[in-house]
Structure 1
Amino acid sequence: MATSPAGPPPPADGLLSAARRNLRELAHGLSHASHPPTPLFADSPRRWLRLLPYVVVVALTAVLLPVTIVVLTDGYGLSGGVAGALAVGQAAPLLMLVHRPLQAWWIIFAFDVLGALLVQPDRQEALWPWPAPVIVGHLFVLLALGLRERRHTLIGVWLVIGAAGQLLHLLVPSREGGGGLLLFVLGAPVLVIGAAVRERSEAQRLLVEQETISEAERARRTLLEERARIARELHDVVAHHMSVITVQADSAPYRIGGLSDEARAEFASIAAGARESLGEMRRLLSVLRSDGSRGELAPQPGLDRLQQLVEATVRAGVPAELSLAADVRDAVERGGVPQTVDLSAYRIVQEALANVVRHAPGARTRVSVTARDGRLTVLVVNDRAREPGAPLEVSGTGHGLVGMRERVRLTGGTLDTGPLPDGGFRVAARLPLPPDRPPAASVNPEDS
C-alpha cells in the first residue's frame, strides 16, 4: 500500500521570532506604565507610610538640585546657566516618582544623556558619562520603578541604561570614566530589591484576598449545611401534618354519615394527594440525608426534653439551671406550641449550651423559657468562663450562631446575641406563637 510523502514540518517558533516577541514586550513596557497614577503606598492604613514617599522625593530633590549644579560647574566646566538647566531637568522630575516613575525616568534619562554630551570633565578621575549626582538620583528612580513596574519594564530600563552608556563611549572615545558601567552594575541589585519588595507585597495582598474568599466560602458552606439540617428536621414536622390530613381524609367517610358520592370522591382525592406529597418529601429527604444516617429518623425533640438537655450539659462540666414557665409547660402538653417553634426553641438552647461548653467551660449558665404577648422567649445567659477557651465568633461564621439565625428566620422571630459587660454571653430568641387552638389529632406513627 503506497503512502504519501510526509509534508514539511510546521514552522517552529525559532530564536528570531522569540527575540522579536520579547523586544515588542520590552518596548511596550517602556512606553506603557503597568499601574495607574496612584500614589505609592496609597493603600496603606498608616498615614505616615502614605506620606513617606512625598517626604523622600521632596528631600531628595532639595538635596540633589544644588549639589548637581555645584558638581557640573566645578568638576565638569559648565557655566552656571547651563548647569542650572541640566540640574533642573535631572532633579526636578524626581517629584513625579510617587505617581509616575516611568515618565519621570524618561525625562531624567533624556537630560542625563544631554548632560553627558555637554560636560567636559576637568579632572581625569571625574565620572563620565554619568556624574555622581546623576547616579544617585538614577538609583532612586530605579528603586521607584522596581516598586511599581513589571519585570519587562525593569529589564528594558536596565538594558537601555547599559546600552546608552556603551553608545556614549563609542561616540566619544576620547572621554574616559566608569560612570556608565557603574550605574549599570549598581542598578541591577536596586531593581531586584524593588521588584522583590513589590512581588512580596503583591503576594501578601493576594493571600489576604484568598483568605477572605475562603472565609466567605466557609461561611456559605456552613449556612448551606445548617439549612439542609433544618430542612431534614422540618420534613418530619410537615410529614406529621400531612399524615394527619391523610388519616382524616381516609376516615371521614366512616366518621361522617350521609356523605354524597361527590364528597367521598373529594376526600379520596385529598388522601391521594397527601400520600403523593409524602412520597415526594421522602424522596427529597433521601437526597438531603446523603450520609445514610438512621439516627435522624427518631422523633424530633422539643421543649419537653429541655430538662434532659440541661442535665447532660451539667454532666459535661457546666453548672446549668433551667427555668421553664408553667404556662409554657401547659402549652406544650396541650399542643399549643407549633412543632416548628417547639423544635427551633430546643435547637437554639442546644446550640447555645454547646457554645458554652466549647468557649466558656465551667461558666454558670441559666436557661429560661417564657411565653408572653404571643411570643415564646428563649434566654440563655452564661457568666465569664472559669478557664480559658476558644474565642466565640460572633460574626456569624460558627455553626451554632448560623443555626440559631436560620431557625429564628424560619419561624419569623428575632434573635439577639452578644457579650455581657461582666465577660459572659447572652442569647435571646423570640419566636411567635399562634392564637390558642385545639390540639392536633393523634396519628398512627406508622403513617408518618
Structure 2
Amino acid sequence: MPTSAPPPPSSPPPAHPPADGLLSAALRNLREIGHALSHPSHPPTPLLADATKRWRRLLPYVVVLGLAATFIPVTITVLNNQYALGGGIAGALAVAQAAPLLMLAHRPLQAWWIIFPAQILGAVVLLGQDGGQNTAWPWTPPGLVGYLFLLLALGLRERRQTLVGVWLATGAAGLVLFLVSSHRGADNSLLLVILSAVVLVIGATVRERGDAQRRLAEQETISEAERAQRTLLEERTRIARELHDVVAHHMSVITVQADSAPYRLEGLSDEAREEFGSIAASARESLGEMRRLLTVLRSEGTEGERAPQPGLDRVQQLVEATVRAGLPAELSLPAGLPDLPPLVDLSAYRIVQEALANVVRHAPGARTRVSVSSDGAHLTVLVVNDPPEHTGSSLAPRTPLETTGTGHGLVGMRERVRLTGGTLDTGPLPDGGFRVAARLPLPPASPPSDAASVSSAPPPNPEYS
C-alpha cells in the first residue's frame, strides 16, 4: 500500500524587525533634536506679520530695538564695574551677547546660535578674572535676563523639539562650566535651567494656543463656506426639480396636441402630418430626458416632491398655519391677480414661506404683514415683521429659536429671484424689525387666441401627462 508523502515543512514565520534598543532610540532622538536646532520651523517672517493694524506689525521691531539698546550698555557697565574687564573685551562681549537680540522678531533660532556661544565665551573669560569671585557666574545678570528674552522668542516661534534641544544645550553648558570651576560661590547655572524651562513652557503654550485658535477659525470659515455652498446647491437642485414639474406639464401638452392634431384638423397634407409627428417625437424625447434628470436629482424617499407644486393660491393656508403656530400674521392678497407663470407663482410662494420661517426662528411673536400685489408688469412680494413681542411684566422679549442667522434662507430667495430675472431687497428696519421685498417680472399680456377644441382628440397617453 503506497504511503502518502510527508507534508512539506511549514515555512518559518516572517521575521519582524528588531525593536529599537534604548541606545538606538536615544541616538535617533538626538539626531532629530540636532536637525531641529539647525533648521528653523518657520519662515523668516516677522512676529505679528499678519496683524491687521500697522502698529501691531511694528511692535516686535520696537521691542527688539529697545532690548538691544538697553542690554548693550548695561552689559558693558556690569562687565567693567563688577567683573573688572577691560573696555575693549567688555564691549566685544556685550555686542556679541546683546546685539543679536535685534534678530528676535524674525530669526530667533539664528540669534540663539550667536548668543549662546557668546555667553559661554564670556563665562570662560570671566573664569580667569581674579575679581568677582563672589559675583554671579557663569551667566552675568544682564546676560541671563537677555537670554531669557531670547528663549521666550524661541518658544513663540519654534516647535517642541527645537525648544527641548535649546534647553538641553543650556543645561549641559551650565553643568560643564560648573564642573570646570566648582569653587565659584555664586553659581547660577541651576537658576538658569529652571527659569529657561519656565519661559520655554510659557512661550510654547502661548504659541500652541494661538495656533489652535487660528486653525479653529480657519475650520469655522471653511465649514461656513461649505454650508453656504451646500445650501446653494440644495436650493438649485430643488429649483431644478420644480422646473421639471413645470416644464413637464407644458411638454406633455405639446405632445398631446401634436399627437391629436391629425385627428382634430382635417385636410392635413402628408408633410404636415410628418411635421406634427416629429414635434410629438421631440417632445416625447425631451420628457424622457427630463425624467432621467429628475431621477438623478431626486433623493430617495422624497415622495412629497411628486405632489403638485404650490403657488400663491396656497399662501392663505400658509399664513393660517403660521398664525396657529403663535405668530400674528396678516395677509394682503388681492383677488384680481393676473395669471402668473408657474415659475413666478412658485417662487413667490417659496419666498413667503422662507420669510415666515425666518420670523418664527429669529423673532418669535413678532407681528408680521405679508403683502402680494401686481402692477401688470411686476409681481411684488413684501414680508415685513416687527421686533420680537415683549411678554410679561419684565418686558423681556421671547427667546428666539436661533440667536444668529446663517443667511442660508436668503441664499435660496436670491437664487429664485435671480432665476426669474427679478430683484430682492432684504435688511433690518430702524425699529428692530426685518423686511423682505421681492419684485418678479411678469410676461406681457398676450391677446386671447381661438384655441382649437380638443374634445374630439383621443385621450392623452398617461405616459406623457
TM-score by length of 2: 0.84
Is the Cα–Cα contact under 8 Å of residues 226 and 399 in structure 1 kept in the other structure? no
Match of 1:367 in 2: 370
1:378-417 equivalences in 2 (<5 Å): 378-386=381-389, 387-388=397-398, 389-390=400-401, 397-417=406-426
Q: How big is each residue's C-alpha offset from its partner over 1:90-131, in whole Å with a ceiling of 9 and x where there is no partner?
A: 122223212221122222122212211211262433232222
The reply on whether 1:429 has 2:429 as its aligned counterpart is no
SS at match of 2:43: coil
The reply on whether 1:14 has 2:17 as its aligned counterpart is no
> Matches of 1:72 and 1:133 in 2, distance apart?
10
Q: How much has 1:20 moved relative to structure 2?
A: 4.6
Give the counterpart letter for 2:217 in structure 1. Answer: V
Q: How much has 1:373 moved relative to structure 2?
A: 6.5
Q: Once the two structures are aligned, what percentage of the paired residues are identical?
A: 71
2:33 pairs with one of 14, 21, 26:
26
Is the Cα–Cα contact under 8 Å of residues 255 and 284 in structure 2 kept in the other structure? yes
Is the Cα–Cα contact under 8 Å of residues 368 and 379 in structure 1 kept in the other structure? yes
Q: How much has 1:393 moved relative to structure 2?
A: 5.9
SS at match of 1:434: coil
Is the Cα–Cα contact under 8 Å of residues 84 and 132 in structure 2 kept in the other structure? no
Give the counterpart letter for 2:350 in structure 1. Answer: R
SS at match of 1:205: helix
The reply on whether 1:102 has 2:109 as its aligned counterpart is yes
Is the Cα–Cα contact under 8 Å of residues 116 and 128 in structure 1 kept in the other structure? yes
1:311-330 equivalences in 2 (<5 Å): 311-325=320-334, 329=337
Is the Cα–Cα contact under 8 Å of residues 371 and 377 in structure 1 kept in the other structure? yes
1:65 pairs with one of 65, 72, 84:
72
Match of 2:342 in 1: 339
> Matches of 1:138 and 1:399 in 2, distance apart?
53
> Matches of 1:134 and 1:393 in 2, distance apart?
53
Match of 1:38 in 2: 45
How many residues are aligned here?
A: 440
Greater displacement, 90-99 / 199-208:
90-99
Greater displacement, 374-383 / 286-295:
286-295
Q: How much has 1:47 moved relative to structure 2?
A: 6.4
Q: How much has 1:165 moved relative to structure 2?
A: 2.7
> Matches of 1:243 and 1:314 in 2, distance apart?
38
TM-score by length of 1: 0.87
Change (3 A) 1:4 1:296: closer
- Which ranges in structure 1 are unaligned for 5 or more consecutive residues? none
Match of 2:278 in 1: 269
Q: How much has 1:45 moved relative to structure 2?
A: 4.7
> Matches of 1:215 and 1:401 in 2, distance apart?
15
Is the Cα–Cα contact under 8 Å of residues 415 and 427 in structure 1 kept in the other structure? yes
Q: How much has 1:149 moved relative to structure 2?
A: 0.6
Match of 2:119 in 1: 112
Match of 1:131 in 2: 140
Match of 2:238 in 1: 229
> Matches of 1:130 and 1:439 in 2, distance apart?
102
The structure where helix makes up a greater share of residues is 1
> Matches of 1:210 and 1:3 in 2, distance apart?
58
Give the counterpart letter for 1:385 in structure 2. Answer: P
Is the Cα–Cα contact under 8 Å of residues 75 and 121 in structure 1 kept in the other structure? no
> Matches of 2:277 and 2:29 in 1, distance apart?
81
Match of 2:4 in 1: none
Q: How big is each residue's C-alpha offset from its partner over 1:393-430, in whole Å with a ceiling of 9 and x where there is no partner?
A: 67xx4442122111112212221111112212111112
Q: How much has 1:138 moved relative to structure 2?
A: 0.9
Change (3 A) 1:140 1:369: same
Q: How big is each residue's C-alpha offset from its partner over 1:149-187, in whole Å with a ceiling of 9 and x where there is no partner?
A: 111211222222223233444556776652333322321
Greater displacement, 88-97 / 317-326:
317-326
1:75 pairs with one of 82, 87, 97:
82
> Matches of 1:9 and 1:321 in 2, distance apart?
81
1:140-179 equivalences in 2 (<5 Å): 140-169=149-178, 178-179=187-188
